[in-house]
């Protein structure tokens, strides 16, 4: 009976590892989708309403949820009190503080945007926001495709790994 219980736990543990990998893929797609929407809102606030950067960030945060909203709210709070720091540094610190499910390429796209926001004129910021939204949309499509392709594979590998351990230990 103890062996059966142990075997079930090993299989479930393998399945749990597979599902955790799938969860990362799903989280990345969700965060990229939310970032894309927030960037669109930020563009409207900065370019059409001509809102100050902290206020625009706060408004964009209100239109999303989860980690992206926390990231934008933190950026808004920090942008209100820069104290001589460049906004690029604040943006990077906020990205580090709020761990979104992003790959290196995704983070690099956001870091490029942080270098432009609050530093250049409205037209340059608009172009940077449009470019970022397009790149994030492309990344989101690739992430969704990867999730579909690898999601089942990770689940199967997790269960197979658990079964292999059961066979080896019996």
| 147 in a structural domain | yes
Between the alpha carbon of residue 107 and those of residues 19, 41, 99, 128, 163, the distances in Å are 24, 19, 11, 15, 37
| 3 in a structural domain | no
Q: pLDDT value at position 138?
A: 93
| 2 in a structural domain | no
Q: pLDDT value at position 67?
A: 92
| 4 in a structural domain | no
Structural domain containing residue 63: 10-169
Taking the C-alpha atoms of residue 127 and residue 30, their distance in angstroms, rounded to an integer, is 24
Number of domains making up the chain: 1
| 5 in a structural domain | no
Q: pLDDT value at position 115?
A: 86
Residues of the chain with pLDDT under 50: none
Q: What is the pTM of this model?
A: 0.80
| 21 in a structural domain | yes
């Amino acid at each position: 009976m103890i062996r059966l219980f142990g075997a079930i736990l090993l299989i479930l543990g393998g399945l749990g590892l597979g599902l955790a990998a799938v969860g990362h893929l799903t989280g990345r797609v969700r965060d990229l989708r939310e970032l894309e929407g927030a960037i669109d809102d930020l563009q409207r606030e900065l370019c059409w309403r001509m809102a100050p950067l902290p206020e625009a960030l706060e408004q964009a945060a209100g239109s999303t949820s989860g980690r992206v909203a926390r990231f934008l709210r933190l950026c808004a709070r920090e942008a209100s009190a820069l104290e001589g720091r460049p906004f690029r540094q604040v943006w990077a610190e906020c990205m580090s503080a709020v761990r979104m499910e992003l790959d290196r390429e995704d983070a690099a796209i956001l870091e490029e945007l942080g270098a432009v926001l609050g530093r250049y004129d409205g037209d340059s910021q608009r172009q940077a926001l449009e470019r970022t939204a397009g790149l994030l949309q492309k990344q989101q499509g690739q992430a969704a495709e990867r999730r579909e392709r690898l999601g089942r594979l990770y689940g199967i590998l997790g269960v197979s790994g658990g079964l292999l351990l059961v066979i080896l230990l019996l």
